[in-house]
Amino acid sequence: MEKDKCLAAYELFKKSEAGKGPSWLVSFRDEAMAGFREKNFPTLHDEAWKYTSLEPLLKLAFTPAYGKPSNGAKANLAGKSPGESAGPRMVFVNGTYVPSLSSLAGLPGKVKMVNLKSVWTSEGGLMERHWSSRNAAQRGIFSELNSAFFHDGVLLHLPKDSFSEKPLEVIYFSSSQDRNMISHPRNLVIAEKGSRSTVIERYIGLDESVYFTNAVTDFVLEEGASVEFYRIQKEGRQAFHISDTHVSAGRDSRFVSFNLDAGGGLVRNYLEVAMRAEGSECDLNGLYVADHAQHIDNETVIDHLKPQGTSRQLYKGILDGKAEAVFSGKIFVRQDAQKTDAAQKNKNLLLSDEAKVDTKPQLEIFADDVKCAHGAAVGQLNEDEIFYLRSRGMDEEAAKRVLTYGFAHEIVDRIRLEPLKNELEYWLAERFQNHTGVKEVGLGKF
């Protein structure tokens, strides 16, 4: 994945039908590609990427996916439909919207949920205003690449005081056949004053081919808005997945997230919450489960900029085989952010001697009237607890499964959306039926 080849691919993209658009979009893409040109791909010498090598990704060449899904992708999708939806749903295959698999039934009249390509002109000012508000210096090279190449995605606009009783769901299926594909999903969620919603974002691999998903999602929460966000990543085992999620939180707003990473060969997630106004709240939860040689990296940033903000964070990891995980959690409390209440925890369970975790929770406090705490733990199953369960009639493997399931269930139990909670409980039970030989569940239940 050489920079020169990306630049050449961009010139071809601009000439394609997918690369066309209104003047604001063309300028936005060109500016992003200029930013991409000026930046370098991260290396192990960069502090934020100290434990995650991009060498396996950068040594490959990828073809941008745009236009209609390939016949191979369609063939893999056959028989693997998303199933019943609890609410409105939009489905994409290799970054392209597929109306035949989507359904907007039940969408509240005031709420707008559309694919970006269909509203380039009518909603262009809205998109340009929010995307341009991010400081170019803060955008990473992969975010710039997404901004240059994205050709579709989702705009979710929740007007003032609107409420969606059912979850709003977006699914990105990915597949490569004769060539390694790269797709650039793009989502923008705007929650106006007093609105409430639940958003589900899924990334699912249709096969075990090599492909690269490079996703960007932006949330804008105005005063008093409340959003629950569930992000489920079940890519193929040879897939690369890099994501950038940015949240701008207004006065008295509330953002709650749950992130599950269960797939992908090399995964890197960046989640930033900028608490820009007084009284904002966020609650970040994550579970990553990896085995074989998977590598999953989560970097989170919570930036308290104004007084009386509250943040909570709990990320847990379960690793088997030769899997590796990285957690880097940063909490900033700025000088003006008095009365901040922030807590952060990262806990990890290693099921083999070869599994590895690098964890680094961090606090940077510039205010003096705050309540902050953070901690991290890495360990194996407790032998005393195993002995206790065996004394009650369980064999050793059953005892280990129960304890592993219990470790994960603590965080799954925080999910307030019952259908999704039940789905993940089912998946966990299947996954941990044998911690030393994980059964492949495939897509299972979505």
Closest CA to 327 of 317, 339, 318: 317
| CA-based radius of gyration for the chain | 21
pTM (2 d.p.)? 0.93
- Give the pLDDT confidence of 23-76 residue by residue, as tens digits: 999 999 999 999 999 999 999 999 999 999 999 999 999 999 886 665 655 556
Where are the chain's structural domains?
3-277, 382-446
Beta carbons within 8 Å of 444's beta carbon, 6+ residues apart: 426, 427, 430
Closest CA to 164 of 227, 214, 90, 107: 107
Does residue 194 come out as left (phi exceeding 0), alpha (psi in the -120 to 50 range) or beta? left
Closest CA to 141 of 2, 32, 36, 271: 36
- 8 A C-beta contact, residue 277 and residue 248: no
Closest CA to 285 of 296, 266, 298: 298
Please state at what angle helix 396-412 crosses helix 383-391, rounded to 10 degrees: 120
- Residue whose token pair is 């509330």: 254
- Residue type (1 letter), 336: D
- 8 A C-beta contact, residue 293 and residue 262: no
Q: What is the DSSP letter of 224?
A: T
pLDDT at 437: 37
Q: Per-residue confidence of the chain (446 residues) as pLDDT tens digits?
A: 899 999 999 999 999 999 999 999 999 999 999 999 999 999 999 999 999 999 999 999 999 988 666 565 555 665 555 555 678 999 999 999 999 889 999 899 889 999 999 999 999 999 988 887 776 556 899 999 999 999 999 999 999 999 998 999 999 999 886 679 999 999 999 999 999 999 999 999 988 889 999 999 999 999 999 999 999 999 999 999 999 999 999 999 999 999 999 999 999 999 999 999 999 999 999 999 999 999 999 999 999 999 999 999 999 999 999 999 999 999 999 999 999 999 999 999 999 999 999 999 999 999 999 999 999 999 998 888 888 888 888 888 888 888 998 899 889 999 999 999 999 998 888 888 744 333 333 333 33
Residues linked to residue 303 through DSSP beta bridges, in sequence order: 274, 332
pLDDT at 442: 32
- Tell me the helix, strand and coil percentages in the chain, rounded to 5: 25, 35, 40
Work out the number of other CB atoms within 10 angstroms of the CB of residue 141. 18
pLDDT at 261: 97
The three-class DSSP label of residue 281 is strand
What whole-number distance in Å separates Cα of residue 407 and Cα of residue 233? Answer: 20
Ranges of beta strands (E only) in 192-225 are: 196-205, 211-221
